[in-house]
Structure 1
Amino acid sequence: AATNMTDRAAALTVLAHRHDGSPEAEEALASFEARYRGDALVLDKWFQIQAGVPGPRTVETVRALMRHPAFSIANPNRVRSLIGTFSSANQTGFHRAYGQGYRLFAETVLEVEKRNPQVAARLATAMRSWRSLEPIRQDKARQALLQIANVENLSADLRDIVERTLA
């Protein structure tokens, strides 16, 4: 049995990744959150674990977690743990063929940009490899980048990253 937070987080990661959506995984996620609710850094890890779960449910999971009472779009660490992990470390969840991951990403980057342009710019670097995707995903990723690029009064930081990524 796991006797410390690090071991519990590692076990939770394996359970969540291998048994996504199972009653056992859901119970373990709820238990971990209840135990560490008062520790912001550990709660960031809880968000990160869920954002990294591969598969078709990830976009819906990330959207649901964005509505969680402990999530704030104004908290850079929380944004990085959820959106940064989703976009940079979850290849099968983020790069869904229908583009729902890219749409969520573009919406979120634009929302973050209103509060913290530097964090939004850093998140946008997750799209740098969009040209290496197969054509359908490449088109969806490009559309998401253009959605960001076409916003008026975009911060210089974010505009620079997006324009260089599209160039």
Structure 2
Amino acid sequence: LAHRHAGSAQAEDALSAFEMRYRGDALVLDKWFQIQAGVPGPLTVENVRALMQHPAFSIANPNRVRSLIGTFSSANQTGFHLSGGQGYRFFAETVLEVEKRNPQVAARLATALRSWRSLEPVRQNKARQALLQIANADNLSADLRDIVERTLV
């Protein structure tokens, strides 16, 4: 329902009811974040950004980060690969934020851009810019630097 009728009153009601019912179950709530991160379309970046403000989300929780950001970057092709590059910019900002708390999770997230060369030229350039944004950040962990440098080569 959330994927086929994203933004509809029925989808919002279903997501809200699901959240209320499973609020106390961390693993199920991770699925709730995954479902929403996987909803295709041009509003995905804004929706994922808003979900990062949800009380149940914590950038310090690796499972939540993987559920939301990992799903967005690895499983939401239309949301992540928007031609304007906003998915890549958001991703780079978020990876750098995660890196401050958990370098291993940030490095794993960064693998979502390994196939950037297979994109068409406009997206390829924007994905490369996101990788360079990460690579040029100060004080990168060895794990993240290794992934990004190998991805750029």
Superposition TM-score tier, normalisation by shorter sequence: over 0.9
List structure 1 runs of 4+ shifted beyond 2 angstroms: none
Distance across 2 between alignment mates of 1:106 and 1:153: 15
User: Aligned pairs, how many?
Assistant: 153
Pick aligned residue for 1:35 from 18, 21, 25: 21
In the superposition, the TM-score normalised over structure 1's length comes to: 0.91
Tell me the equivalent position of 1:148: 134
Amino acid at match of 1:117: P
| CA-based RMSD | 0.4
Shift of 1:152: 1.7
Distance across 2 between alignment mates of 1:72 and 1:152: 23
Cα distance per residue 1:17-53 (max 9 Å; x no partner)? 1000000000000000000000000000000000001
Distance across 2 between alignment mates of 1:31 and 1:152: 43
Distance across 1 between alignment mates of 2:116 and 2:126: 9
Distance across 1 between alignment mates of 2:17 and 2:50: 18
Amino acid at match of 1:25: A
Distance across 2 between alignment mates of 1:152 and 1:76: 22
Give the number of the structure whose alpha-carbon radius of gyration is greater. 1
Distance across 2 between alignment mates of 1:94 and 1:152: 25
Q: Which runs of 5+ in 1 are unaligned?
A: 1-14
Distance across 2 between alignment mates of 1:18 and 1:153: 42
Percent identity among equivalent residues? 87
In the superposition, the TM-score normalised over structure 2's length comes to: 0.99
Distance across 2 between alignment mates of 1:149 and 1:91: 23
Query: Are residue 134 (structure 1) and residue 100 (structure 2) matched?
Result: no
Query: Are residue 90 (structure 1) and residue 76 (structure 2) matched?
Result: yes
Amino acid at match of 1:71: F
Amino acid at match of 1:56: P
